[in-house]
Structure 1
């Protein structure tokens, strides 16, 4: 996907963009491409990968979820690269399945080989071995690329911009969260904001559910949840929310007018994808980051960035 654009040591990943970033949140796909290219990070896109199921496959069959995602993981293993995704839901599902099957390889080899066989029947040319790793874009920037190194690439410090992190659910409940952050009191996004020159805003709802999982059958409850978080962030003085999850982005940005109707309050707070915020600090033009695609307009953010 990316051409090498840096003389620094190269980072390479098997890139799993997920479904939403290639459809409803195309700006997430575009902004990830922009920042990784700028930083000299090579992404080898897994074009034949399938949807992870976003946690719904296991409601019908855990075996189905395991087999589908073992195939996805095998595609990355065949490249000898760690898997990278910018979707915390995908990261949660793929990471959970990977850890489950790694344990089964030793503790339940019959089940492991059964899933392995199903992968082969599903047309996977590569055999799942349980040797790979799954990384979210946030963890990659913080741990692999490194905050100090990222800070050196900042061309337009985000001084004066007050950013509220919205971690959401999956990112803080993944199999390997302890390797990177605290599930109960995470700090990685706020530390990243500071490295980019922005001011972090702290509020209670930053680690809670956005309401997306229930939006299809309980929209009023979903939008009430989202509205509560958005109001808390506004009252804490946030100029924008920044999220590492495209599903959170859909509920907080694209459905914000519906949220406003349910809670009876005007909000108008911009919601940025994580790589969009990083891209602004790197000096990448806003249009290349897809900031014109949002339902809630981002002019107030850009005014502070470009002042």
Structure 2
């Protein structure tokens, strides 16, 4: 199989509040021989907020991001479920409009031309890191690269909203009964844990105006995962990570209960199985200590 190569869209959160996601993605793709060409000129996808004011704005901003990948003739790769949801939805929408309303796409490209940008062509695909690993790299090949199987570690997936429900056509999984994360856990030697909230919203979108309700949502998910025996939650979304990890002490205070459940970014879990050090993976940056996970794995 030829080496995989992607136009890399890291998004905002991984370059700021969740820097450990950026560094762990770099670490595992290098270890797996996946080449990333970072799109330095890309802009924020808007995380779904642009369309509240203007669908045309969301389409134009993200058509530009996708066009940057098209210039390289590469699929666009992101490790953020929110970015995947927004970019993937815009790409799907504009491809349909190329047939049903080409004038609209011409308007989008007219705006891009004014800014000296390449036009959107609809010639590439938007891939989340999870889809790239499951669909392009392959779980059998990933299993063969495991250096330190995650034996004894019980992992609860937290898919969140955007990865499963933002697009009409979901690659490599069932949006209502997903198994891609759980299958990946098995490939790494870990045991998947199932619980009701794994495909629900983490509460992040509510947190700026309905904080207690958002924290109660997050708290319900955390308590369900703990009750199911999880040693950690693993998420492909940095915004879910922020709500479940960085705000977990506040969530616990609202619930009046102790939680202490570690939350891992997807590439961090993969990195541990590949034998990459916890320091390189940024596991010390979390609010909720990841020490219990490392202890389970004998670190």
The TM-score, its normalising length taken from structure 2, stands at 0.98
Deviations 1:161-194 (A, max 9, x none): 0000000000111326533101111001001001
Aligned-CA RMSD value: 0.9
1:119-138 equivalences in 2 (<5 Å):
119-124=112-117, 126-138=118-130
Structure 2 segments unaligned to the other structure (5+ residues) = none
Aligned partner of 2:139 in structure 1 is 147
Count of residue pairs the alignment pairs up: 299
Secondary structure, aligned partner of 1:284: coil
Aligned partner of 1:3 in structure 2 is none
Conservation of the 8 A alpha-carbon contact between 1:171 and 1:177: no
Q: Equivalent of 2:101, from 105, 108, 117? A: 108
Separation in structure 1 between the aligned mates of residue 119 and residue 163 of structure 2, nearest angstrom: 28
Separation in structure 2 between the aligned mates of residue 252 and residue 103 of structure 1, nearest angstrom: 36
Q: Equivalent of 1:170, from 162, 165, 175? A: 162
Aligned partner of 1:213 in structure 2 is 205
Structure 1 segments unaligned to the other structure (5+ residues) = 1-7
Q: Equivalent of 2:84, from 91, 106, 114? A: 91
Aligned partner of 2:190 in structure 1 is 198
Separation in structure 2 between the aligned mates of residue 76 and residue 291 of structure 1, nearest angstrom: 30
The TM-score, its normalising length taken from structure 1, stands at 0.96
Separation in structure 2 between the aligned mates of residue 287 and residue 32 of structure 1, nearest angstrom: 13
Conservation of the 8 A alpha-carbon contact between 1:18 and 1:52: yes
Separation in structure 2 between the aligned mates of residue 218 and residue 285 of structure 1, nearest angstrom: 38
Secondary structure, aligned partner of 2:212: helix
Instruction: Show structure 1 runs of 4+ deviating over 3 A.
Output: none
Separation in structure 2 between the aligned mates of residue 127 and residue 189 of structure 1, nearest angstrom: 35
Secondary structure, aligned partner of 2:297: helix
Q: Equivalent of 2:30, from 28, 37, 49? A: 37
Q: Does 1:252 align with 2:244?
A: yes
Q: CA deviation at 1:107?
A: 1.0
Secondary structure, aligned partner of 2:280: helix
